[in-house]
Amino acid sequence: MSRQGTSKMGGFAVAALAVAGTAAVGLLALSTRASNGEAAMIGNPSCGTHPGNVGHGTALTPSGRNQVAIFAQGCFWGVEERFRKVPGVVATAVGYTGGHTQNPSYDDVCSHTTGHAEAVLVEFDPGKVSYDELLRFFWQTHDPTSGDRQGPDRGDQYRSAIFTFGAQQQSEALASRDAEQKHLADPITTQIKEAGPFWVAEDYHQQWDEKHGALSCPVPHRPRVK
């Protein structure tokens, strides 16, 4: 559903999404129904909400040996909900990054004049989930070939992107993209670039699905495979 001129609210039923190549991560099924027919958990209330002590463009400081990563896959409500259920992810927050203005608001980003993407900042314990495993989860939970859109959401804020911290993440992201491309029929359009300031989004955007007890965004589209 497009969110330009409309609300993000919506009661989309989400079918189970098979996530290939992520068995080591032990990911929870992305479904509105558990195997026993009971409603599955929305997000993960035990996961933290201040990754890297996030602020408005401030330096990020993860706890202890934890690391941070930034991913963009379209509507950040649904992206955050998915990543919060990955074992080893200890905290998430949604915000704006990759643009050229300072301290943008949601309305600013929706104007498509700031260059920012809706993104999710993830703090993770590398002893429990590796960056490479997070990358595999990233590729398998959206369409990385669709340019400035994900499903019905259109505009540069919905682009697929990976914002990296340091040379190691950059190298792993590029290698994972090349590996994923071998299986896809269309060119990957995912932007991969060094992370700049991350501007935490307004409070009402944070952990939206958990707060409202429903999955807000459409089932992620999958790319065409060879």
Which of the residues are catalytic?
A: 75
Q: Which two tokens stand for residue 19?
A: 């996530």
Question: 119 in the Ramachandran plot: left (φ > 0), alpha (ψ -120 to 50) or beta?
Answer: beta
Distance, in Å, from the CA atom of 104 to the CA atom of 92, rounded to the nearest integer, reads: 19
With residue 209 as reference, give the H or E element that holds it: helix 208-212
Find, among 160, 88, 66, the residue nearest to 117 by Cα: 160
Count the neighbouring beta carbons within 10 Å of the beta carbon of residue 207: 21
Give the orientation angle of helix 131-140 with respect to helix 166-181, to 10 degrees. Answer: 40
From first CA to last CA, the distance across the chain in angstroms is: 28
